[in-house]
Amino acid sequence: MTGAQGDGGQKPLAGLKVVELGTLIAGPFCTRIMGEFGAEVIKVESPDGGDPLRKWRKLYEGTSLWWAVQGRNKKSVTANLKHPEGREFVRQLIAGADILVENFRPGVLEKLGLSWEALKADNPGLVMVRLSGFGQTGPYKDQPGFGAVGESMGGLRYITGFPDRPPVRTGISIGDSIAALWGAIGALMALRHREVNGGAGQVVDVALYEAVFAMMESMVPEFDVFGFVRERTGNIMPGITPSSTHTTRDGKHVTIGANGDAIFRRFMRAIGRADLADDSALADNAGRDARRDEIYALIDSWAAEHDEAEVLTILAAAEVPSSRVYSAVDMFADPQFIARQMFESASLPDGKEFRIPGIVPKLSETPGSTEWLGAALGAHTDEVLGSLGYSPESIVTLRAVGAV
């Protein structure tokens, strides 16, 4: 793999053991981050096919290319949680872990005898990250809730799109990914608490709708103080002008963020409107936002008279923040992506080389790396069972009775 540590130093989460009882996006993305930075992540999957994400989106020789990335650096073990010996295996695994990440519907683990109270009795220092649609409490806790529901309830969908059309979604499961990030942050805060305040673990309760809701900027105070309900505004940034996406003569799309006072003046001069650069009524954001329709109309008109390359050249020379709207094609050819090593080279099981996303964030002394891609289902079951003291004969028996 490329993108590994250049100095061979220890990764920041080395020595931590993480057990993942999760499928699809929120839980597995949370643990993926931990695994990229050195934690030993043991992913527990059902023997009957494992994580459904293994079969999601584009498949290569029967396995999702997404799985190669989402499962990287994780050990895959199988356990049948409906079988008592399968549950006992998982209980022992969690008893030796620092972090458990799960994204079952609330109540499922309790029914399996793997409640927080039971797990804490075995492992008082355990940090248990619980990702669910609505959280572990409240009247909605038992309802199923995917990222799309969290995005809708959390406020994101309502403001996304154009005012004359129904709400739209982003092109990815952003609600799940945001929840995963909060889960990882919460786990690290809980570990810090454990380190300095007596060694006790705790539950990190992340609801998908709350994870999205937490990103909604000034929505709450604006509504509470002014009764203002933020609506869909298309590509503009409401209340901050100018910041939008404009179509060029050759049919490309360029995002321009010229909402700083000095930046706006440079922008107007660059497009031949020194009169607006010097207009005292447009010297601050409030004045510009009051005339947003006029400003956006003139930017639209200017962009439509130039090809994308010329637009970007003019704006770069004027130091106006701008960008083409990148597709994967643009990313693969872009010198910034390449210089920052945002693509790593890897190999599929048949030897075919391909590229995977680089690791974020970049730590100067203890960077993350890709050690291996998403493993075959159950590839590490025998190894992990053996580390818990199971003999080869007992492992054969567990497999024969359907426990693993």
Is the distance from CB of 372 to CB of 35 less than 8 angstroms?
no
Q: Which two tokens stand for residue 276?
A: 């607006």
Return the amino acid letter for 209: Y
Q: Which two tokens stand for residue 270?
A: 């660059």
CB-based contacts of 264, cutoff 8 Å, min separation 6: 242, 258, 277, 282, 288
SS3 content of the chain, % helix, strand, coil (to 5): 40, 15, 45
- Nearest residue to 74 via CA among 51, 56, 58, 107: 51
Which segments within 290-342 are labelled E, that is strand? 322-324
DSSP H helical segments within 37-77, as ranges? 65-70
**334 annotated active-site:** no
Q: Choosing from 98, 176, 289, 382, which is the catalytic residue?
A: 176
CB-based contacts of 21, cutoff 8 Å, min separation 6: 27, 44, 90, 100, 101, 102, 103, 104, 109
Is the distance from CB of 60 to CB of 346 less than 8 angstroms?
no
- Nearest residue to 78 via CA among 376, 394, 389, 393: 376
Which residue matches tokens 């006992």? 88
What are the catalytic residues?
176
